[in-house]
Amino acid sequence: MLRLSRIVAGVLLMVPLTAFRSTIAAQTSLTIYNDGRVLVRRTVNADVDRGASSIVLPLGELDPATLFSLDSTLVITSAMYDGAVDEASILRRAIGRSLRFVSGDDTVSAVVLGVDPLRLRMPDGTIRFGQPGTPLYPADLVVIDPTVTLGIRSAVRRKTLDLGYFSRGATWQANYEVLLGRRLQATIQGDATISVERLRAEEAELQLLAGSVSSAAKEQNQMRAQGFVAAREMADQAAPSEQRVGEFHLYTLPGKTTLLPGVTSSIALFDPAQASYERTLVVRGAIPWYGMLQEYGDQQDVPVEVSYILKRPRGTDFGDRPLPGGVARLYEPDS
C-alpha cells in the first residue's frame, strides 16, 4: 500500500542528456525543472569553417556559464554573452554619445556624461540631472535579443552547431484528479501542468525532470562532463516515456510541443487508472504524560480529519509507475 505522492530530493546539479540522438536531430529539445530552470539543447544553423573561428548567435536569455557543446568534434574556447536588453544598460552604453529627448512638441539633444545618477550636458553647456523628456535611442545601441559571441574550434567544416545551456522562464507541476467511486474504488488522472513566463519554443521535444535539484557553481563543469558521457553511453537506447536518471525521474512527452510566453498547458502523464482506496478518520487530542486526566466540563465537538490512501499494489501498471510529487484533488459525486 503506497501513498499517492513520492518526493525525491537531490544535492547535485543533474544534467539529463539521455535523449542524445533525438536531441541532435531535432531543432530544439527542452528539459524543464520544477524550480524554473530549463535545460535547452538546440541545433542552430551556422557556417563554421574547420579550425578556430568566431560566430555571433542570437540564442536568447541563458546562463553563459552553462553553455557547452553537444558534439565532441566542436570545442567552445570562449563565450561573450550580451543580455543587456533593459533600458538602464542601454543608457550606460550611451555614455559619451548624444541622445535626443522628446517632451511634448519639443526635441532636445544632450550628451550622456554618466548614470547613477544620470548626468547630461545640454546644448548650452549646462549640466542637467535627470531626463528632459523621453529618450530616443539609436538602433545600434539597442539589443533586441540577447546574443552570444562564441570562440570555437571545429575538427570539420559544418553547417550547424549542436549546443546546450541552461535558461529560465518555465516551470511544471504534477496534478492528480482522484474521482472517488463506490465500493472504495477510485479513478485517477495525472497531468503535468507547464507554466511558461517568458520562454518561447516552437515544435520542441519536451522532457520534465521530477525532483529538487540543487545547483552549485563549483560543480557545474564536472557535472556537465559527467552528463555528456552518460548521454553518449545511452545514445543507442530507445527513450521511454519515463526513466530514472540518478535519484530523479525524467518524463519524455510524446510528439512535439510549442511553448509560448504566458500560456499554461496541461499534458496527461498516463492513461486514467483504477485503484482501490482506504478512508481513515482521525481525531487528535492531548493526553498528559503523567498525572490524572483533566476534566473539561461539558462535552465538546472536536474536528475529525478525513484522509484517503490509494492502494498501488506491486505488479500493476499504476503501482509500479513512479509518480512525481504534486497536488492531488479529490472529487466525490453526489446523487
* Mean pLDDT, residues 6-32 taken together: 48
Residue 119: is its pLDDT beyond 90?
yes
Among 331, 43, 58, residue whose Cα is nearest residue 161: 43
Q: Cell numbers at residue 176, please?
A: 492528480
Distance from CA of residue 118 to its chain's centroid? 36
HSE of 118, CA atoms in CB hemisphere, 13 A: 21
Q: Please give the Cα distance from 260 to 271 (Å, whole number).
A: 26
pLDDT value for 294? 66
Q: Please give the Cα distance from 138 to 234 (Å, whole number).
A: 50
User: Residues 60, 38: contact at Cβ < 8 Å?
Assistant: no
pLDDT value for 328? 93
Q: Please give the Cα distance from 273 to 275 (Å, whole number).
A: 7
pLDDT value for 318? 86
| Segment 244-301, tens digit of pLDDT | 676 678 888 888 888 899 999 888 888 899 999 999 998 887 666 666 666 666 777 7
pLDDT value for 291? 65
Among 201, 193, 190, 204, residue whose Cα is nearest residue 171: 193
Residue 240: is its pLDDT beyond 50?
no
Q: Please give the Cα distance from 95 to 119 (Å, whole number).
A: 9
For residues 133-148, one letter each, b for 16 or more C-beta atoms within 10 angstroms of the residue's C-beta and e for the rest, the string is: eebeeeeeeeeeebbb
User: Residues 95, 107: contact at Cβ < 8 Å?
Assistant: no
pLDDT value for 231? 32
Q: Is the model more confident about 227 or about 332?
A: 332
| Segment 289-327, tens digit of pLDDT | 666 666 666 777 788 999 999 999 898 888 888 888 899
- The pTM for the full model equals 0.69
Q: Please give the Cα distance from 165 to 81 (Å, whole number).
A: 12
pLDDT value for 200? 87
| Beta-strand relationship, 201-210 and 28-32 | parallel
Binned at pLDDT 50, 70 and 90, residue 85 comes out as confident
pLDDT value for 323? 87
Least confident of 23-27, 121-125, 178-182, 308-312: 23-27
Q: What residues have CB less than 8 Å from 165, skipping those under 6 apart?
A: 39, 40, 59, 62, 63, 64, 66, 67, 68
pLDDT value for 310? 92
Match 539529463 to its residue by C-alpha cell. Answer: 16
Tell me, what amino acid is at 121? R
Q: E-assigned strands of 58-184?
A: 68-69, 74-82, 98-103, 106-114, 119-121, 127-129, 134-136, 147-154, 158-168, 170-180
Angle at 131 between CA 126 and CA 132, to 5 degrees: 70
Q: Cell numbers at residue 85, please?
A: 536588453
What is the average pLDDT score of the chain? 80
Whole-angstrom CA distances from 268 to 192, 251, 331 are: 6, 11, 18
User: Residues 40, 28: contact at Cβ < 8 Å?
Assistant: yes
Binned at pLDDT 50, 70 and 90, residue 73 comes out as very high
